[in-house]
Amino acid sequence: MTRTALVVGELSQGRLAGATHEAIGAAAIVSGSPAGVSVLLAGRSARTAAGELARSGVARVVVVEDPRFDAGPPAVLAVQAAATAARIGVGVVVVGGTTFGREIAGRVAARWDGAVATGVTEVAPEGESVRVRRPVFGGRATETRVLGGPRVVLAIRPHAFPTPASDGPTPPIEVVPAADLPAPLLGPIRTGVESAAAGAGPGLSDAAIVVSGGRGLRGPENFHLVEELAASLGAAVGASRAVTDAGWRPGSLQVGQTGKAVSPQLYIAVGISGAIQHLVGMVSSRVIVAINSDASAPIFRVADYGVVGDLFEIVPALTAEIRRVRAT
């Protein structure tokens, strides 16, 4: 039995975050097609962002044009999401695989009295329930879980689901007032956002390709090898904790247990030994390539492809070849 679903959209600088499009793809699997999916957008730019869903084929876009959703904490949107899910009668709520989405998922589940799963990489309806798969124990195992009950909340893993094709009908836009938002939730007000230091290229959490460097680079003056390889691939730049602790690169680039967790289509580890703290943050990547001079390095245990050799020879040669191929 399929269920109708509600996707809680995430807005970034007035536009839909890529994670929202992926969430629509996951919701369409649960519902059988995008026609069983509604999308909630809340905030000052919600109506404008709704235009990005033209020809998406979703059933409707629920718009709440209220600036309180821009300045308030995620808990405010969770109240609106639970109220909207109850009003339109969906059985599943899906959010993107971001920090914002994971916080929304738990709060919606609590308010809506729903079963919840985060980090979901596969989903399918199963009778009256929803079956999901997700990595657990830092990616060292994969769990299959069946979520029963009439209400289910899912937070998907980044890049685990394709975005739906843009060849469906344009959905109607339903503008509604904000739900009754509890006053205590409106106490903390965001007054500004300052971007953290980051490398060139796409954001680390959202990137489809990530190239990370470790201690094997021997010093900050050699980190340009990682950045040049990343630039040739249009990839984000990451780093191991050893690199950020040494001050070679800012902490915002750290991948690992105490840094960012990434799930790109391709992860290239350059000069990274592969301590468990690092593996936890990247082991769910679709394809892992490791370049290291130590054949016994732990990173090779999780790598799909491993290159044992001198990174100071391998990485420049690889970068040059990628640039040559792309130029042709």
pLDDT tops 80 at residue 94:
yes
Determine contact, residues 40/8, Cβ cutoff 8 Å: yes
Q: What is the pLDDT of residue 136?
A: 82
Determine contact, residues 23/36, Cβ cutoff 8 Å: no
Q: What is the pLDDT of residue 1?
A: 57
For residues 37-62, average pLDDT: 94
Give tens-digit pLDDT for 128-160.
899 999 988 766 788 999 999 899 999 998 888
- Spatial CB neighbours of 282, under 8 Å, sequence gap ≥ 6: 210, 212, 238, 255, 256, 261, 262, 263, 267, 269, 288
Give tens-digit pLDDT for 221-267.
999 999 999 999 999 999 999 999 999 999 999 999 888 888 899 99
Question: How remote is the C-alpha of 296 from its chain's centroid?
Answer: 32
Closest CA to 160 of 281, 286, 278: 286
Closest CA to 3 of 117, 165, 130, 108: 130
Closest CA to 41 of 56, 30, 29: 56
Give tens-digit pLDDT for 275-319.
999 998 898 888 999 999 999 999 999 999 999 999 999 999 999
Q: What angle do CA 19, 20, 23 make, to 5 degrees?
A: 90
Q: What is the pLDDT of residue 2?
A: 67
Question: How remote is the C-alpha of 11 from its chain's centroid?
Answer: 13
Give the Cβ contact number of residue 296 at 10 Å. 9
Q: Do domains 5-186 and 209-327 have the same CATH topology?
A: yes
Split at pLDDT 50, 70, 90, the class of 34 is: very high
Determine contact, residues 89/190, Cβ cutoff 8 Å: no
Q: pTM (2 decimals)?
A: 0.79
Give tens-digit pLDDT for 168-211.
888 999 999 999 998 888 888 777 666 655 555 677 877 889 99
Q: What is the pLDDT of residue 257?
A: 86
Return the domain boundaries, the chain.
Answer: 5-186, 209-327
For residues 75-104, average pLDDT: 93
Measure the CA–CA gap between 292 and 141, rounded to whole angstroms. 25
- Spatial CB neighbours of 263, under 8 Å, sequence gap ≥ 6: 97, 157, 158, 159, 160, 282, 284, 285, 286
Q: b/e map of 208-229 (b: 16 or more CB within 10 Å)?
A: bbbbbbbbbbeeeebbebbbbb
Q: What is the pLDDT of residue 263?
A: 86
- Spatial CB neighbours of 221, under 8 Å, sequence gap ≥ 6: none
How far CA 19 is from CA of 10, 179, 315, in Å, comes to: 8, 24, 31
Q: What is the pLDDT of residue 244?
A: 95
Q: Hey, which CATH number is domain 5-186, 3.40.50.1170, 1.10.620.20, 3.40.1380.10, 3.40.50.620? A: 3.40.50.620
Structure-token pair, residue 163: 């975005």
Give the Cβ contact number of residue 106 at 10 Å. 16
Split at pLDDT 50, 70, 90, the class of 216 is: very high
Cα dihedral: 287, 292, 294, 299 (round 10): -30
Closest CA to 272 of 217, 209, 207: 217
Q: What is the pLDDT of residue 195?
A: 61
Determine contact, residues 126/149, Cβ cutoff 8 Å: no
CATH top-level class of 209-327: alpha beta
- Spatial CB neighbours of 324, under 8 Å, sequence gap ≥ 6: none
Q: What is the pLDDT of residue 200?
A: 57
